[in-house]
């Protein structure tokens, strides 16, 4: 016992003495980068030129076969969208199997087979690999494209395009592609309704026959298999794949603009702006700068790094901002982006450019550098747990002519990067003064963007367009636009003569049909009733300063803010005195609606929480489109509807209303009856 006590005491004394010499204010130096024991993929080449890489992994009784084509096809041009359809068609039936039979046999063995315009893969349990490969090779070698399948794909594509027309991310992506690469570059071609309709079955067949060849392909075989079996399977199922000369297209160069360019894409009803600072760069896969730019990007726009700390935490302008710096064997790109409130769009751009300049002008702290290195090292190490990753690394080295030890030395090169290295690549690749600043948002923010340069306008597909900002358009003011509208719907006398108005409509919304009745006693009473099959489902009544909502057997008093929101709708003479209800109209510019010129007008009410962009036809003066948005902070609801079929209301002295409205989602309203001046009384609104 004494010996044990002596040993503990001696150890305590030793620790205390050395603790006195330890300066805890000095950060410990990072240890040497761990050595990567990256097993080499075994490889062989078939007689037809197919290069095969094999990675054994016997943890699970499954195997995956992946083929990727190293091709540079001709740009799609006026048939953009065709490439993606080729992949779908490859697994949509063969010369020996219908699509239904192919899918049935695939499901029977619980396999997974898929294709794209430059790849095909298959995965199954090891014991079913023969059946899976027979299906996979049948799709690859004997694809049988059918017109009915192409028609389905085109219909799906057109439906998706309709939904993406007002999606800010899709709009931003389209315009970024066009401005960064140009419309003649494959990366700059945008799929539209016209390009989809141009695609033919002959186009798809020609692409498949021209580019799906083994001599430009790499195959990765990963899983529960050995080299001998892999050779047997590859030869058996892909040895008869016929090689042929495959053309390799040359693409036009993509370069960053000589000076900052500002592109604005108007989005009806937007309460947020989607912003991107972007441009192409020359950063090839596997070059030394790739690791350095990855560290730089992690500090600039990784999760909760500089951009987030600035725009989200310090200013509370956004839920998140990020950046990417991409390498590519053709052309890479830089993209610094954010979605922020309309009113801070210009401020967000200023801060994003400031952070880019800070990366160029000021070295990282050692803490920032080490944090980024640690994060990237962890991601890299996790990736090594996947056998597919090992196979992909082997293919990358072969395909992009990378150093043989590139991935084995990855962590060592990562750890060897210095703050000076990061500043050097920041000065080389971060160029906010030579960027495309692209904003998808509300036209009200246009004046603030001019500080960054001349503003050019684009539609959602990246086509140049015109947006007029002046509040006097071709000599026409907002008062003149509204006066013409009042005259078009019957005139001032007709409006002043409206005492009450009753409208019954058939409504289709979200796949549901119902009848809506709206009764107004001007200037302060309104009742709305929704019925289904004659049964009242919901009712809302405002009778002056009070009101209630009723539905599902429950009745609830409306709060004051709800009363305030509906009050303008109860005043049939609103257009004659909008300021009495705090409603403000602003002429924004001109636009095209249904092929006709229209004045774009912003209507703001309810203390700015409700905004409506209205479009008044230049020729007729009628209101033809409304984009209504309500918002609380970053939360918003947008409804877009077109208005048509204006008719006179019974007893309205010439007063007209639109008898039909439609929404982008396929819903709409058709008026079945409308009458005015029916001698309604306040007692009708109890």
Query: What pLDDT is stored for residue 32 in this prediction?
Result: 59
Q: Are 459 and 519 found together in one domain?
A: no
Q: pLDDT by residue (tens digit) across 320-352? A: 899 999 999 999 999 999 999 989 999 999 999
Read off the tokens for 401: 């002519």
The residue among 439, 465, 491 that closes a domain is 465
Q: Which of 233-247, 294-308, 535-549 has the highest mean pLDDT?
A: 233-247
pLDDT at 270: 79
For residue 101, name the pLDDT band (cuts at 50, 70, 90): very high
Judge whether 314 lies within some domain.
yes
Question: Considering the domain boundaries, does residue 638 fall inside one?
Answer: yes
| pLDDT tens profile 458-471 | 999 999 987 656 56
Residue that is written with structure tokens 């060592």 in the block: 412
Q: Which helix (H) or strand (E) holds 394?
A: helix 387-399
Q: Which domain holds residue 571?
A: 478-685
121 contacts: CB under 8 Å, gap ≥ 6: 64, 65, 66, 67, 112, 113, 114, 115, 136
Are 661 and 524 in the same domain? yes
Q: Does the structure show a pLDDT above 70 at 284?
A: yes
Coil, strand or helix at 10 = helix
CATH number of domain containing 206: 3.30.830.10
Same domain, 486 and 605: yes
Last residue of a domain, one of 436, 465, 494: 465
The answer on 280 and 227 residing in a single domain is no
- Show the tokens assigned to 103: 């899918």
Query: In this structure, are 376 and 504 located in the same domain?
Result: no
| Closest CA relative to residue 207, chosen from 82, 91, 96, 88 | 82
Mean pLDDT of 514-522: 96
- Which single residue is written with the structure tokens 């609801």? 637
In a domain, 173, yes or no: no
Do 201 and 107 lie in one domain? The reply is yes
Average of per-residue pLDDT across 576-590: 87
Q: What is the pLDDT at residue 113?
A: 96
Cα–Cα distance, 326 to 179 (Å, whole number): 17
Contact 489, 656 (CB under 8 A): yes
For residue 672, which of 653, 651, 634, 645 has the smallest C-alpha distance?
645
Q: Is residue 310 part of a domain?
A: yes
Tell me 547's DSSP state: E
Tell whether 59 is covered by a domain: yes
Residue 406 near residue 286 (C-beta atoms within 8 A): yes
| pLDDT value of position 397 | 93
Q: Quote the tokens at residue 177.
A: 């592609």
Mean pLDDT calculated for residue range 494-505: 96
Residue 77 included in any domain: yes
pLDDT over 80 at 4, yes or no:
no
**Is residue 24 very low, low, confident or very high in pLDDT (cuts 50, 70, 90)?**
very low
Task: Please give the pLDDT value at position 213.
Answer: 98
Contact 256, 434 (CB under 8 A): yes
**Residue carrying the six token digits 């293919």:** 395
Count of the separate structural domains present in the chain: 3
User: Would you mind telling me the total number of residues written for the chain in this entry?
Assistant: 686
Is 316 within 8 Å of 375 (Cβ atoms)?
Answer: no
Regarding whether 581 and 499 lie in a shared domain, the answer is: yes
In a shared domain, residues 96 and 131: yes
CATH number for the domain harbouring residue 519:
2.50.20.10
State yes or no: pLDDT of 46 exceeds 80: yes
Residue 32 located in a structural domain: no
d(CA 572, CA 497): 10
Which of 465, 486, 507 is the C-terminal boundary of a domain?
Answer: 465
Tens-place pLDDT, residues 285-317: 999 999 999 999 999 998 789 999 999 999 999
Same domain assignment for residues 541 and 590? yes
Helices and strands (H, E) in the chain, number of each type: 20, 26
Same domain, 290 and 424: yes
Please state, rounded to an integer, the average pLDDT across all residues of the chain: 90
Summarised one tens digit per residue, pLDDT across range 257-269 is 999 999 999 887 6
Q: Does residue 1 form part of some domain?
A: no
Claim to verify: residue 453 and residue 583 sit in the same structural domain: no
Q: Report the 10 Å Cβ neighbour count for 258.
A: 8
List pLDDT tens digits, range 350-360. 999 999 999 99
Same domain for 597 and 488: yes
Reply yes or no on whether the pLDDT at 200 is more than 60.
yes
């Amino acid at each position: 016992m004494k010996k044990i006590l002596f040993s503990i005491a001696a150890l305590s004394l030793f620790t205390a003495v050395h603790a006195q010499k330890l300066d805890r204010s000095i950060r410990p130096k990072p240890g040497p980068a761990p050595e990567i024991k990256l097993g080499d993929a075994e490889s062989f080449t078939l007689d037809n030129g197919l290069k095969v890489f094999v990675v054994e992994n016997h943890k699970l009784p499954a195997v995956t076969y992946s083929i990727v084509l190293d091709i540079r096809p001709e740009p799609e041009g006026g048939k953009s969208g065709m490439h993606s359809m080729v992949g779908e068609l490859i697994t949509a039936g063969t010369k020996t199997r219908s699509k239904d039979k192919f899918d049935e046999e695939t499901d029977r063995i619980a396999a997974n087979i898929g294709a794209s315009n430059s790849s095909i893969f298959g995965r199954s349990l090891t014991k079913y690999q023969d059946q899976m490969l027979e299906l996979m090779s049948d799709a690859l070698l004997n694809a049988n494209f059918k017109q009915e399948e192409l028609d389905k794909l085109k219909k799906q594509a057109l439906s998706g395009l309709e939904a993406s027309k007002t999606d800010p991310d899709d709009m931003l992506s389209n315009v970024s592609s066009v401005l960064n690469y140009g419309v003649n570059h494959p990366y700059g071609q945008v799929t539209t309704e016209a390009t989809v309709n141009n695609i033919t079955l002959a186009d798809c067949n020609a692409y498949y026959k021209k580019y799906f060849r083994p001599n430009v392909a790499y195959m990765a075989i990963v899983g529960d298999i050995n080299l001998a079996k892999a050779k047997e399977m590859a030869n058996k199922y892909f040895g008869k794949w016929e090689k042929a000369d495959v053309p390799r297209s040359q693409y036009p160069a993509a370069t960053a603009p000589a000076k900052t360019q500002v592109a604005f894409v108007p989005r009806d009803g937007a309460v947020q702006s989607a912003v991107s600072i972007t441009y192409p760069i020359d950063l090839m896969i596997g070059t030394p700068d790739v690791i350095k730019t990855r560290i730089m990007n992690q500090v600039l726009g990784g999760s909760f790094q500089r951009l987030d700390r600035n725009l989200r935490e310090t200013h509370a302008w956004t839920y998140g901002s990020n950046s990417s710096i991409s390498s590519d064997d053709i052309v890479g790109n830089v993209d610094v982006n954010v979605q922020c409130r309309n009113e801070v769009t210009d401020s967000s751009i200023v801060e994003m450019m400031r952070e880019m300049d800070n990366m160029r002008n000021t070295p990282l702290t050692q803490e920032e550098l080490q944090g980024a290195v640690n994060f990237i090292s962890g991601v890299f190490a996790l990736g090594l747990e996947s056998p597919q990753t090992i196979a992909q690394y082997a293919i990358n080295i072969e395909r992009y002519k990378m150093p043989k030890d590139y991935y084995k030395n990855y962590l060592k090169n990562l750890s060897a990067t210095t703050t000076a290295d990061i500043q050097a690549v920041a000065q080389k690749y971060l160029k906010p003064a030579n960027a495309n600043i692209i904003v998808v948002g509300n036209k009200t923010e246009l004046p603030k963007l001019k500080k960054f340069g001349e503003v050019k306008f684009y539609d959602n597909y990246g086509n140049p367009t015109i947006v007029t900002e002046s509040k006097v358009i071709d000599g026409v003011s907002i008062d003149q636009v509204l006066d013409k509208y009042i005259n078009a719907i019957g005139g001032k006398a007709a409006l002043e003569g409206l005492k009450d108005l009753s409208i019954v409509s058939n409504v289709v919304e979200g796949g549901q049909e119902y009848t809506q009745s709206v009764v107004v006693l001007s200037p302060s009473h309104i009742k709305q009733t929704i019925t289904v099959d004659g049964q009242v489902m919901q009712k809302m009544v405002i009778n002056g300063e009070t009101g209630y909502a009723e539905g599902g057997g429950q009745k609830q008093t409306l709060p004051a803010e709800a009363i305030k929101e509906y009050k303008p709708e109860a005043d049939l003479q609103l257009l004659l005195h909008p300021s009495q209800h705090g409603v403000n109209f602003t002429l924004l510019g001109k636009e095209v609606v249904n092929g006709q010129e229209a004045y774009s007008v912003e209507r703001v009410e309810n203390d700015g929480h409700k905004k409506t962009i209205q479009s008044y036809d230049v020729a007729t003066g009628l209101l033809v489109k409304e984009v209504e948005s309500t918002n609380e902070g970053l939360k918003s609801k947008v409804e877009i509807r077109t208005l048509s079929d204006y008719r006179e209301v019974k007893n309205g002295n010439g007063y007209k209303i639109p008898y039909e409205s439609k929404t982008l989602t396929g819903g709409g309203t058709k008026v079945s009856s409308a009458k005015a001046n029916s001698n309604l009384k306040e007692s009708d609104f109890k």
